[in-house]
Structure 1
Amino acid sequence: MDFSNLLFRASGVGYLMTSPKLKADKEAGNLSESAKTNCIDVYVSAKYGRNTDIQTKYMTKGNQVEEDSITLYSRLHKKFYKKNEEHLKNDFVMGTPDLFTGESIHNAQTVIDIKSSWDLFTFHRTNSKDINPIYWWQLQTYMWLTGAKKAYLAYCLVNTPVAMIEEEKRRLFYKMNVATTEDPLYLDACEALELSMTYDDIPIQERLIEYEIPRDQDAINCLAGKVIKARAFIQKYEDQMTAYIKPDLNSLLKKVS
């Protein structure tokens, strides 16, 4: 299998850009051990059609409330935004930006990535930390793909879907080990749980945290070089695996004869 033209997903390129521990490796632009591990995961996914992503409740909520978060973002910016469905790629990377401004996704002014927070606590924790490097690189990749000069990372706080709240209540029931769902302690706990997962009482302007990220062309150029190194690493791994599992036909023939 030829990996010389393998494309890397925008959501994962940040792993390629982690710094090696040794100074010599940093100066040479070599892959870090974390990047190599990610390359192996990419290799397995590309060759065998497997995926390491495990669907957590946080990811499930993010997928289910994406339109609600886009609506919240649109209301606050007083501009209608529609989810972009067009998948983009160039010679190195691929991805699907959530939103954009400009004439088209191929000639965008800005790109916007929507993140739906799990709850009020995780929402505010993002405000006390530096931007997640994985997200920073994801948006640099989107700007590369679209030509945009600026990007926004938008954390939105929207209600958890009713079905997910009910699932959390069922988990709470078994965890509390009460006799019935009418137990007063359980009902009080369910009320507190529902309050912790819905946010209509919070002003809408307090449910968006947004970061502006300018395009960094030097970083993008560096990313292209890392993709080339990652492809070479994956191809070498493939060649080693093929050599390892390929039978030595000459030896087999000698044994048979």
Structure 2
Amino acid sequence: MGNIKIRCSMISQIIGDSRTKSSPLSDTAKTCLMNLAKESLFDFTKFQGSKETEKGKVLENTAIQASGLHRCKKYTKNETRLENDWITGECDIYDPKERLIIDTKCSWDIGTHPFFIEEAQKKAEKAGYIYQMQGYMWLFDCDKADIDFWLFPCPENLLGTYDNPAMLIDAVEDIPIAKRLTTVTVTRDEKTIEKIKEKVEICQEYYDFLIKQVA
């Protein structure tokens, strides 16, 4: 089936070091690769999405347009997926003139939105977005990546029985749009990219080992 190429959104799951010297891969990395092997062997996908991820999909173009307006530019969604021998990825916005990647993240509500820089940085690190941006910068040959955290009113069709429209729509609309954006900037780091490359090569060996057990 050939060497697996890790999606940029998954880099954070495979990059960690093992707690034991006997294995170069962490348990998290192994679990990630086992899930990828099941996808390949049985066309099985474990994660089916959530209302939070659905909101992000529905408002993706809105966020991309807003990120453009914020920078006095007109952006459209990048439709190009790039890959090399190690990773594959498709960022939201690719600005070749600025050598810039922009990825938009739509928060579910006021409580989960990172209004503060420190909060946004911690969220980006915890969610694995920093490694995701390093992957995009590697693929698209960029020097900088901006993670735009946006807060928009929730589309009414996504509201559940116990969701409060006053909190998810009205309260959000009362906040000026400029205050509903927090940006985390990530600078290209060649050492991190080299580590990604090394880890992926180990992952490819382990993935092939898994496939051979069942194929």
2:212 corresponds in structure 1 to 239
Partner of 1:156 in structure 2? 150
CA deviations on 1:79-98 (whole Å, 9 max, x unpaired) are 11111111111111111110
* Aligned-residue offset at 1:72: 2.2
Structure 2 residues without counterparts, runs of 5 or longer: none
* Matched letter for residue 96 of structure 2: G
Matches within 5 A, 1:194-205: 194-198=165-169, 199-205=172-178
Identical columns (%)? 25
Match of 2:103 among 113, 119, 143: 113
- Matches of 2:208 and 2:190 in 1, distance apart? 27
Describe the shift of the 1:14–1:62 C-alpha distance in structure 2 as closer, same or farther (beyond 3 A): same
Aligned to 2:95: 101
Residue 6 of structure 1 aligns to a residue whose secondary structure is coil
Residue 49 of structure 1: how far off its partner (Å): 1.6
Instruction: Using the TM superposition, give the Cα deviation of residue 231 of structure 1 relative to its aligned residue in structure 2, in angstroms.
Output: 1.0
Secondary structure at the counterpart of residue 95 of structure 2: strand
Question: For the residues of structure 1 that align with 2:13 and 2:104, how far apart are their CA atoms?
Answer: 20
Name the residue aligned to 1:8: 6
| Deviations, residues 149-200 of structure 1 (Å, cap 9, x unaligned) | 11111100111112113xx2xx23xxxxxxxxxxxxxxxxx8xx21211222
Instruction: Name which one, 1 or 2, has greater alpha-carbon Rg.
Output: 1
Shift in Å, 1:234: 1.4
Paired amino acid for 1:6: I
Q: 1:86 aligns with which of 75, 80, 100?
A: 80
Tell me the C-alpha RMSD between the 2 structures: 1.9
How far apart are residue 14 of structure 1 and its match?
1.1
Distance 1:32 1:59, change over 3 A: same
Quote the Cα distance in structure 2 between the aligned partners of 1:234 and 1:125: 39
Structure 1 or 2: more helix by fraction:
1
Q: How far apart are residue 74 of structure 1 and its match?
A: 2.1
Matching residue within 26, 37, 47 for 2:31: 37
> How many equivalent pairs are there?
209
TM-score, structure 2 as length reference: 0.90
Of the three residues 43, 52, 57, the one matched with 1:58 is 52
Contact 1:76 1:204 in 2 (8 A): no
- How far apart are residue 218 of structure 1 and its match? 0.9
Deviations 1:52-96 (A, max 9, x none): 222111011110011121222222222111111111111111111
Q: Name the residue aligned to 2:180.
A: 207
- TM-score calculated relative to the size of structure 1: 0.76
